[in-house]
Amino acid sequence: MEQIVDQHAVIAGHRIAHGIHGEGEPVVLLHGTPSSSLIWRGVVPELVAAGYRAHVFDLLGYGVSERPADPAVDTSITGNVAILEGLLEHWGLETFHLVAHDIGGGIAQRFAVESTPRLRSLTLIDVVSFDSYPSSRTRQQMAAGLETLARTPDGEHREHFREWLRSTHARPERFDPEALETYLDFISGPIGQPSFFAHQVSHYDPKHTMEISDRLFRLADIPVQLIWGAQDTWQVLERAHRLRDAIPGSGLHVIEDCGHFAPEEQPHEVARATLRHLDAASAR
């Protein structure tokens, strides 16, 4: 599929694919696992049409950004905070709106509690928080050992993760087949499969969000909205309520008939809810 990242920059010594779309107030969008910036392809045009400038990138170890050969390179939630900070400098952004999905939400939370004055608003979509990850299903899989999983025959690996990705939708038959295969390609093959386990799965560790969970109250100083798929089985709706309770003044918008990959499954509803929040924050 055509990507929405069309530029490259060296950030903290690593090649990061990124893109800028539109003109107006800056909005930075963070994707999660096992996806890429591609998940925003249906949201970005609506932000641009509404007069915002969308900044997207593929996290280090994801999508078409660099896949480090060295497993010691930090591609965790915490490690990708540094990539975000480097890109903000590259883009010349001092303040901006931040929108995040899945583990991108972990990156956003860590950044936000330390750099709250830089955020014009924060939107968290089906994000990880506290100790909400990895799921019991993923923990069972990880128990087999990441090196063993990295050597699983390609066909078996793809079949398993095709079904796993389809579980991100309330109605799996709605998953765009081309997008599904693109996400699958990113985590399969001689580069994608070992990189997936070394630089994504190995970092499914709640320490990254638990370390800052007692500081989430700081986000009361900025407009915060949670957007959640009602049928999210990866980060169940109960998690959204816990996170909302931890951030004074935050709101929660639930999208019906929607699973974990809300920007993929219901991009128009995600864009509409996000724009209401951005417009309200901009009018303050």
pLDDT tens-digit series, residues 212-250 = 999 999 999 999 999 999 999 999 999 999 999 999 999
Cβ-based burial of 206 (10 A; exposed 0-12, middle 13-18, buried ≥19) = middle
Residue 186 lies in a domain: no
Q: Can you tell me the distance from the alpha carbon of 142 to that of 207, in angstroms, rounded to the nearest whole number?
A: 17
Measured between alpha carbons, how far apart are the two ends of the chain, in Å? 39
Q: Is this structure's pTM higher than 0.95?
A: yes
CATH code of residue 78: 3.40.50.1820
Nearest to 39 by CA among 202, 169, 133, 171: 169
Residue 178 lies in a domain: no
Residue 221 lies in a domain: yes
Match 């952004």 to its residue by tokens. Answer: 93
Q: Can you tell me the distance from the alpha carbon of 229 to that of 170, in angstroms, rounded to the nearest whole number?
A: 8
Domain that holds residue 257: 7-132+206-282
Residue 161 lies in a domain: no
pLDDT digits (tens, 9 = 90+) for 161-209: 999 999 999 999 999 999 999 999 999 999 999 999 999 999 999 999 9
* pLDDT for residue 136: 80
| Cβ within 8 Å of residue 282, ≥6 positions away | 25, 120, 121
Using CA atoms of 191, 194, 199, 203 in order, give the dihedral in degrees to the nearest 10. 160
Nearest to 254 by CA among 239, 102, 48: 239
* pLDDT for residue 269: 98
Confidence band (pLDDT; 50, 70, 90) for 83? very high
Number of domains observed in the structure of the chain? 1
* pLDDT for residue 122: 98
**pLDDT higher than threshold 90 for residue 23:** yes
* pLDDT for residue 143: 85
Residue 110 lies in a domain: yes
Confidence band (pLDDT; 50, 70, 90) for 258? very high
Residue 200 lies in a domain: no
Mean pLDDT of 4-22: 98
Residue 84 lies in a domain: yes
* pLDDT for residue 113: 98
Nearest to 175 by CA among 284, 32, 42, 31: 42
- Cis amide leading into 117 (omega within 30): no
pLDDT digits (tens, 9 = 90+) for 58-70: 999 999 999 999 9
* pLDDT for residue 144: 82
Q: Can you tell me the distance from the alpha carbon of 227 to that of 148, in angstroms, rounded to the nearest whole number?
A: 36
pLDDT digits (tens, 9 = 90+) for 117-129: 999 999 999 999 9
Q: What is the mean pLDDT of the chain?
A: 97
Q: Where are the alpha helices (DSSP H) in 151-236?
A: 154-166, 177-186, 189-199, 207-210
pLDDT digits (tens, 9 = 90+) for 104-153: 999 999 999 999 999 999 999 999 999 999 988 788 888 889 899 999 99
The distance of Cα 125 from the centroid of its chain, to the nearest Å, equals 8
Q: Can you tell me the distance from the alpha carbon of 182 to that of 174, in angstroms, rounded to the nearest whole number?
A: 15
Nearest to 199 by CA among 78, 74, 100, 82: 74
